[in-house]
Amino acid sequence: MPRRPFVAGNWKMFMTVAESRHMVSELVPGLQAYVSVERVICPPFTALMAVKDLLEGTDIGLGAQNMHWEISGAFTGEVSPLMIAEMCSYIILGHSERRMYFGEDDQSVNRKVKAALAHGLIPIICVGETLEERDAGRTHAVVEKQVKAAFEGLQGHLGSEHASLVVVAYEPVWAIGTGRPSTVEGAAEVILKVIRPTLTKIFGKEFAEAVRVLYGGSINAQNAVEFFSHEQIDGGLVGGASLKPAEFQLIVQAASNSISSSK
């Protein structure tokens, strides 16, 4: 079965509640036309409830940008999967900014992935190498390690029928927010030669072929058509461009158009 395109907008630490309401009011009318694409908006925690209310009655999904793996406890400043699941269906996990600035490692990402699945959340699991790792020729080794670690302990628990409940985002760290995206060929090679084979070893070929794998890293309306036209790239995790309603709509449109292309 063909994989349904998936585009998520990661607003990062931008947008007050008022700004989020205004943004969603601009976004929703344009996004509703692209029903062939799974569209997700990931605002900051403070705006989740306001955005949830505005998305009621649409098929546009809501996601959070992070969570703790425990369901409750003395973890000041954290939010639990139970709290997220009250509002959201999706959760971004393992983003490079979380790894870089907040000390997240492969083990914590794995614990969060397990918690997300246990509470009915669809994890968008981010993997990718730094510039230093890329220049050292370690891209494949680093990404393989991150994928293995993210799914550690889930062997036997996820079959091909669960593939739609997991999303992987390949985000080379050196391309995020730099205006220097990976090449389409470079991103597709990592997906084809590392991510899907690693998932095959863990869960089998049917699961690996069914999982959506996104590209993220300076994706915009100009390069989205090229990225999404490749058969290995199932959509995007979009950062800065998701804060511009017209541009984000064009990115979603590109994902929709990819269905009827040679892909």
For residue 16, what are the contacts with CB-CB under 8 A and spacing of at least 6? 46, 47
Catalytic residue, from 97, 129, 144, 171: name it.
171
Residue among 193, 191, 261 nearest 224 (CA): 261
Evaluate whether 230 touches 183 at the Cβ level (below 8 Å).
Answer: no
Evaluate whether 88 touches 49 at the Cβ level (below 8 Å).
Answer: no
Residue among 210, 115, 116 nearest 164 (CA): 210
Tokens of 54: 């505005």
Q: What is the pLDDT along the chain (263 residues), one digit of tens a residue?
A: 789 999 999 999 999 999 999 999 999 999 999 999 999 999 999 999 999 999 999 999 999 999 999 999 999 999 999 999 999 999 999 999 999 999 999 999 999 999 999 999 999 999 999 989 999 999 999 999 999 999 999 998 899 999 999 999 999 998 887 777 789 999 999 999 999 999 999 999 999 999 999 999 889 999 999 999 999 999 999 999 999 999 999 999 999 999 866 55
3-state secondary structure of 217: coil
Backbone angles phi, psi at 204, to 5 degrees: 100, 160
Q: For residue 5, what is the DSSP state?
A: P
Q: For residue 214, what is the DSSP state?
A: E
Q: Give, in degrees to the nearest 5, the angle at Cα 65 between 173 and 15.
A: 100
171 is catalytic: yes
Catalytic residue, from 95, 104, 144, 230: name it.
95
Question: How far apart are alpha carbons 247 and 239 in whole angstroms?
Answer: 11
